[in-house]
A and B are shown apart, each in its own frame.
Chain A
Amino acid sequence: MAASILSIGKSGLYAAQLGLATTGHNIANANVPGYSRQLVIQSSAPAQDLGFGFLGSGTEVAQIQRYSDEFLNAQVRTAQASKSSLDSFEAQISQVDDLMSDTASGLSPALQDFFKGVQDVASNPASSASRQALLSTADSLAARFQAMNGRLQEVRDGVNTEITTSVTLINSYAGQIADLNDKIAGFSDRLNSSPNDLLDQRDQLVAELNKLVKATVVAGDKNSVTVSIGKGYPLVVGKKAFELAATRSPTDLTRVEIGYQTSDRITVLAEDALSGGQLGGLLQFRSETLDRVQNSLGRIAIGLAYQFNAQHRLGQDNNGELGGEFFKQADAYVGASINNSTASTAAISAVVADPNALSQSDYSLNFDGTNYVLTRQSDKHQTIITTPQSGPQRVDGIDITVAGAAVTGDAFVIRPTIQGASQFAVTLSDRNKIAAAAPITTSAPLSNTGSGTIDAGAVNSAYVGNQLAAPITLSFDAATNSFSGFPPAATIVVTNSAGTSTTYPAGTAQVPFTAGAKVSFAGIDIKLDGQPENGDSFTIAPNAAGVGDNRNMRLLGDLQTKNVLDNGSATFQGAYAEMTSYVGNKTREVQVNAKAAASLYEQASNSQQSVSGVNLDEEAANLLRYQQAYQAAGKVMQIASTLFDALLSIGAR
C-alpha cells in the first residue's frame, strides 16, 4: 500500500518537475519572436480495480501542448504582408516626396529663372551680357532636370538592389522551410506529441518570408506546409523549394525583374504577379509611381525642348540666320525583347512628334501574328498599328514606324518620355546664335499718301526653308481695291477679322484688299489695315542688321504661360505642379493606408499573442503552482515513508 502511495507521490513529483521545466522554457523564450507558449497537460493515471472501487494510481503527463491558432496566424500573415508592402512603398515614395518638397531645389525656380533670362534678352536683345545670362540660366535648367532625374535614377537603382537582395532572402527562407517540412514530417507518425519548437521555427520563417512577399500557407500531408507567394505562385511544396531569380527585363536591360529559375532558363513573372510584402511594395512603387514621375519629368523636358526649339527656329540670330536647335530633345526609348525570335527582322522606331498629346505612360508593342498591338500601360488601352504602313502612325503624339517582318510573339517596349530629363541639354553655346529677332521686317515708304498700315509681321513654320531672299513690295491699286506683288509661287490666304479665310492660288496677280485682314503667304503672316491710296506700297524684307529686334524673344517668353502640354491643358509649370500633386497625393494615400495596415496588424498580432504569447505573471503563478505541487507530492512521499517506518517499527518491538 505504501509503495503505491510512494509511486503516486513520485508521479506527482515528476509531473511538477516537467511543469516547472516547461514554465522555465516559457520564461526563457518569452522574447523569442514566433515562440508559442507551451503547457504541460496532465491526466490521471489508469485506476486500479479493487472490487469495491477504483483506486487512483497518480498522474501522468499526456502531452506538452503548444498554444498556436492557425486561423489567427493566417490573419497576422495577411496583415503583415499588406503592412510590409505599404511600409516599403512609403519608404520609397517619401524619397520622391522629399525631392519635391524643397521649393528652392525643385524644378520650379530653375524654370522661372530661365524664362526671366528670356525676358531679359527681350528687354535688351543686343546686350551680350543678357544673352550670356540666358545661356547660363538654360544651363542651370538643364542641370536641374538632370539632377532631379539623377535622384529618381538613384531611387530606381535602390529598388533594383532591394529586389535582388529580397530574392536572395526569399530563396534562403524557402530552402529552410523545405528543410523544416522534411524534419517535421519525420515526427508525423507520433500521436499526441508534436515537435513544438520546430513548428515555431517554421511558422517564424513563413512570417519572415511573408514580410518580403505575401505568403499563403496551406497544410499538406505529414504536417508539412505548402507555401505559395504573390498571386498563388508555389514556392515550397513539401520538402521541395522552387528558386526565384532576379533578372534583367527582356525589353529593358536596366530594369531588374523577378522570375522562376528553371534549369537553364528564367521565366519572368509579370510585375503585378508578386503583390504584397516588401517586394510587392517595391514593384508597385516602381510601376505606379517611379515610372510615372520620371515620365512626367521627361515629358516636361521634351515639351519644353520641342516648343522652344520650334519657336527658336522661326527667329533670326545675330548673324542674320534663322535660329537653330536650342535644347536637345530626348529620344524615345524603344526596346526589343531579347526573347524575340531570331527569325524576326522587325525594326520599330518611335519619334515624339507632338509633345502636347504625350501621355505619361509607357507602351508595349506585341505582334500577334497579323497585327502589331500597342498597349498603353496606364490604362491598358489598345491600338492596332496597321501594316503595311505608308508612313508613321501617330498614337498619343508618338510617330511609330514598323519595318521588317515580325514573328508571332515578338514583343517591344516603347517608353517615349523616360529619357526626357536625362537627355535634356543645351545645344546652343554661341550667344550670337540666340535668335531674338524675327526674320522679316515690314515698312511703308514715306511716299504713301493713304492711311494704310502694315503690322510688324510674323512668320510660321512654313517660313523655314522658304526664306525671303529679297524684299517683296505689295502695291495697292485703287481701281480694283487689290494688292499685287505677291511671290508668284506662293498660295495666298486672306483671313478677315471674322475668321473667314479665302485662298488665292499661287500666281494670283491681284489679291483683293480687306481692311484688318491677315494675309498669309510663304510662311509670312502680315496684317494690312486702314485705307491705302492708289499707288501706295508696303515692303516686306529680310530683317537685315536687326540686332535690336526682340520679337522672337517675346514669343519665346510667351511659352511660359502657354498651355502646351497634356492636350493643351497645362503649362510647363502646371505640368510640374500636377506631378508634385500626384506624388503628394500618392504619398499621402500610402501613408494613410500604411497607418491603417499597421493598426490592423497590431490588432491581429495582439489576438495572436493573446493565445501564443508568454505572460510572465502567469508564468510566475505557474512556478508557484508547480512548486507547491512538487512540495505536496514530496509530502505524500514523506507520509508514505512515515507509514512504512511505522510498519517497520511494529516488527522491531
Chain B
Amino acid sequence: MLRVSTRTVYETGTTQLSSLQAQIARTQQQLSTNRRILSPSDDPIASARALEVTQSQSINTQYATNRQNARTSLSQVELALQGTTSLIQDVQTLAVNAGNGSLTQADRESIATELEGRLQDLLGLANTSDGAGSYLFSGFKSTTQPFTLTATGAQYHGDQGQRELQVGSSRKVPISDSGSSVFESNPTGNGYFETAPNAGNAARGGSGIISSGTVADATLLTGHNYAINFAVANGSTTYTVTDTTTGLPVTAAPVAFQEGQQITFDGLAFDIKGQPADGDQFTIAPSQRQSVFTTLTNLLGALRTPATGAAGVAQLTNSLKSASDNLNNSLDNVLSVRASIGSRLKEMDYLDSTGDDLNIQYASTLSQLQDLDTVAAISEFSQQQFTLEAAQKSFKTLTGLSLFNFIG
C-alpha cells in the first residue's frame, strides 16, 4: 500500500483545482470573444490558414473597390461619349441640310455659325475632366488639356496611354481611352479609299461630282494613289486613269466618259456625275486617319466658300459628301469605343457577382477556422463547472478527515 503524505494530499488537490479553474476560465474567454482560437498555439494550422484567407479576402475586397473606381471612370467616359455621339449626329443633320439645293449662301452662313458652336461643344466634350482636375481623354498626361483648336482642326497634347486597373485576380481593364483613339483615329472616305476632286476643278468650270465609291474586289486592292484626268475635245469627254504611286497608266487609252457610269479598276468602283471640264482631275488615295475636329473645320470651310454656278455647287456637293463620309466614320469610331466601354462595364458586373460569391466563401472559411461552436462550448462549460464543484467539495471533505479529530 502506498503511503500518502499529508503534503501530497494538499498539493495534488490544489494543483488539480487550479488546472480545472484554468480550463473553465479558458472556455469562458472563448465564449466571451466567440473565438475558438485565442492564440496561434490553440490551432497553429488554422491560425496560419486564417491569415492567408484574410489576405485573400482583403485583396478580393480591394478588387471590388477597384471595380467601383473603374466603373466611375468608365461611366464618366461613357457620358462624355454619349454627348459626342449626339453631337456628331447633329452635325450630320446640319451637313445634310446644307446640301439642300434651295439654300442661299446666307442660309449656309447661318448653318456654318451653328456648326461653329458645335465645334466648341465638341472641344468641350473632348476636354472633359473628372471633376478632380484630371482630363478624361489625355492618356497618361491627366493634368494636360488634351485638345486646343487650330486653323485646320485641333492639336492633341495628350499621349496614347491607356490607364488600366486590376479588377480581378487575373483581369486588368482599361479605364480610359486616349483622345487620340477616340477623336483622331477616324478613317477618311469609305474606310478603304478616299475620292476627291482637284481643287482647281471649280475654277475650270467643271461640275463633276465623284461618289465615295465602294470596294468591288478586296483582293485586287493595291493601296496606291490614282489620278483620273479628264480631257474634253470636240464635244466628247474622255478620261485616263494613272497610278500615281507607280506613275504607270491604268487605262491603256483614253476612255469615253459617260455620266454616272461606274468606273472600276484595281478592285475600286465609283462613278462621276456632272460635266467635268477639260483638264479636271479627281484623285483616289488610301484612307487615312483624320481628326473629327479637322472634319468639322473642313466642313465649315466648305460652307463658307460661296457656291456659284454648277461648278460651285459641284464643289460644295463634293465637300459635303466627303464631310458626311468622315462624320459617319467618326460616329462609328465613337460608337465602337462606347461598345467596348459597355462590355467592360458588363464584365465588371460579372466580376462583382463572382467577387461577392468569393467573399461569402472566404467569410465562411474564416468562420470555420476561427469561430467558436457556441453550443458545444456552453455544454463544455457546464461540464467543467460540474467537475470543478465536485472537486472543490471532495477536497474539502478529504482534508477535513483527520485522526486528530478523534483523539484527545
Contact = CB atoms under 8 A, between A and B. Distances in A.
A437 interface: yes
A614 B7 contact: yes
A578 B44 CA distance: 9
Contacts of B223: 449, 533
Contact of B159 (A546, A558, A578): A546
Contacts of B65: 116, 119-120, 123
Contacts of B42: 584, 588
Nearest to A583: B40
B160 A442 contact: yes
A495 interface: no
A588 B166 contact: no
B40 A97 contact: yes
Q: How large is the interface on A (under 10, 10 to 19, 20 to 34, 35 or more residues)?
A: 35 or more
Nearest to B7: A613
Interface string A122-133: 111111000000
Given A126-B142, A548-B142, A115 B38 contact: no
A556 to B, nearest CB: 11
A218 B393 CA distance: 45
Contacts of B50: 103
Contact of A617 (B133, B286, B402): B402
Given A98-B39, A546-B161, A610 B2 contact: yes
A116 B143 contact: no
Contacts of A100: 39-40, 47
Contacts of A549: 140, 161, 163
Nearest to B184: A446
Interface in B351-408: 402-404, 407
Interface in B1-31: 2-8, 11-12, 15
A500 B392 CA distance: 79
A580 B37 CA distance: 13
A581 B44 contact: yes
B62 A115 contact: yes
A587 B402 contact: no
B91 to A, nearest CB: 21
Interface residues of B, number: 66
Contacts of B286: 449
A580 B69 contact: no
- Tell me what chain B mostly uses at the interface: helix, strand, loop, or mixed: mixed
A441 interface: yes
A31 B223 CA distance: 112
A106 B48 CA distance: 12
Contacts of A554: 164-166, 172
Q: Which of B12, B161, B172, B286 has the most CB of A within 10 A?
A: B161
A580 B404 contact: no
Nearest to B133: A126
Contact of B41 (A550, A583, A615, A624): A583
Given A446-B184, A449-B286, A580 B159 contact: no
B6 A584 contact: no
Given A97-B39, A97-B40, A573-B52, A610 B5 contact: yes
B134 interface: yes
A550 B163 CA distance: 7
Nearest to A557: B166
B127 to A, nearest CB: 14
Interface stretch (B53-61, B270-278, B318-326): B53-61
Contacts of B39: 94, 97-98, 100-101, 584, 587
B159 A441 contact: yes
A574 B404 CA distance: 66
A50 to B, nearest CB: 41
A620 B41 contact: no
B139 interface: yes
Contacts of B169: 561
A611 interface: yes
A441 B5 contact: no
Given A127-B132, A560-B59, A103 B5 contact: no
Contact of A119 (B51, B159, B166, B407): B166
Contact of B140 (A447, A547, A612): A547
Interface in B152-196: 159-166, 169, 172, 176, 180, 184-185
Contacts of B141: 544-548
Given A97-B41, A124-B69, A613-B8, A580 B59 contact: no
A580 B49 CA distance: 10
A615 B404 contact: no
A446 B185 contact: yes
A456 interface: yes
Contacts of A583: 40-41, 44
B198 interface: no
Q: Which of A125, A546, A574 has the most CB of B within 10 A?
A: A546
B66 interface: yes
Interface in B117-163: 132-134, 138-144, 159-163
B13 to A, nearest CB: 12
Contacts of A449: 223, 286, 288
Contacts of B139: 441, 546, 548
A584 B44 contact: yes
A609 B62 contact: no
A573 B5 CA distance: 55
A119 B54 contact: no
B8 A609 contact: yes
A585 B6 contact: no
Contacts of B11: 605
A112 to B, nearest CB: 4
Given A456-B161, A548-B134, A584-B39, A577 B51 contact: yes
B344 interface: no
Contact of A545 (B58, B144, B165, B180): B144
A123 B66 contact: yes
Nearest to A106: B51
B132 A616 contact: no
A136 interface: no
A436 B3 CA distance: 79
B172 A610 contact: no
B144 to A, nearest CB: 5
B43 interface: yes
A573 B55 contact: yes
A606 B407 contact: no
A446 B179 CA distance: 12
A561 B62 CA distance: 13
B44 A585 contact: yes
24 contacts: A30-B7, A31-B7, A101-B37, A103-B54, A119-B66, A119-B166, A456-B162, A543-B140, A543-B159, A544-B141, A545-B144, A548-B141, A548-B142, A548-B161, A548-B163, A550-B163, A554-B172, A580-B47, A580-B48, A583-B44, A606-B8, A609-B7, A609-B8, A613-B8
